[in-house]
Amino acid sequence: MQTSTRPGDKLAAWVIYLILIVTAIAVIYPLYWVVLGALNPGSSLFRTSILPTGLTLDHFRELFNETDYLIWYRNTLFVAVMNMILSTVLVVTAAYAFSQFRFPGRKQTLMAMLVLQMFPSFMGMIAIYILLLQINLLDNLWGLILVYAGGSIPFGAWLVKGYFDAQPRSLVEAAKIDGASNFTIFFRVMMPLSVPIVTFVAVNNFIGPWMDFIFARLVLRSSDKYTLAIGLFNMVTGRSNTDFTKFAAGALLVSIPIALLFLFLQRYIIEGLKAGANKG
């Protein structure tokens, strides 16, 4: 039996396609100009033609040979990877404890973690600065890592706890009947079921510090400790700094690790985002 498409349905479909096309152009167009700027001769991002002509790789060579870009990249990669590992371990273990165990102060702690999310993170920067000064972690990459890892626990623990709560209790009970310890249940039962949400948390904790500027600027002072955000910012600030094309080249390289993460882990990220929305 053939069904006819109503004019209203066709109009709705065209509107949706139009919105998607406009959104795609709005996203791709700035990226296109950044790529052209990185390959554009000279120091200006302005181009008279939208089509690429006279492109060069000189800005990438200058970036590696005349600046400390590789040092900034190494520092940023170290902070992002270590934060991803430490934050994921803390978040997942905390979420498992809150989900599977009942102990005094559990509800109050969960509520306190939820309330803390209502306040902007920069409100605690003065206190964090003083604390890092007292424990001699100012101008230290580990100071950044510890603060990032601690700050990721409240939101991440609530997210993963919701995922753990949604898992069948019969699996845990069957494992306990078989004599499995809590350690065994965590690694042999819960973790294999939690790959999507753990991947989502890990990727989020990698991206978070990757281009953070405000807190890194507050903590880091030495040029050999700079991250990419600080180094690239210093490159184009000041009256004499007009290396905008070199800045575009550096910004283009910054996006590579994040793009690769999303490309290879896209399925897990989407599944983890949907699954973590189930709050238990």
Q: Residue 1 above 50 pLDDT?
A: no
pLDDT tens-digit series, residues 107-138: 888 888 888 777 777 777 888 889 899 999 88
Q: What pLDDT sits at residue 39?
A: 84
Half-sphere exposure of 132 (CA within 13 A, CB side): 23
**pLDDT band, very low/low/confident/very high, at 279 (cuts 50, 70, 90):** very low
pLDDT tens-digit series, residues 44-83: 666 656 666 677 888 888 888 888 999 999 999 999 999 9
DSSP 225: G
Amino acid at residue number 30? P
Domains of the chain, start order: 7-56 (no CATH), 60-276 (1.10.3720.10)
Looking up tokens 């554009």, which residue turns up? 40
Query: Cβ distance 279 to 264 under 8 Å?
Result: no
The number of residues making up the chain comes to: 280
Query: Cβ distance 190 to 164 under 8 Å?
Result: yes
Minimum mean pLDDT among 52-66, 182-196, 219-233, 258-272: which range? 258-272
Of 211, 255, 253, 257, which is closest to residue 233 (Cα–Cα)?
A: 211
pLDDT tens-digit series, residues 148-164: 998 888 888 888 888 88
Query: Cβ distance 256 to 267 under 8 Å?
Result: no
- Rounded CA separation 185/178 (Å): 11
Q: Residue 276 above 70 pLDDT?
A: no
Whole-model pTM: value is 0.82
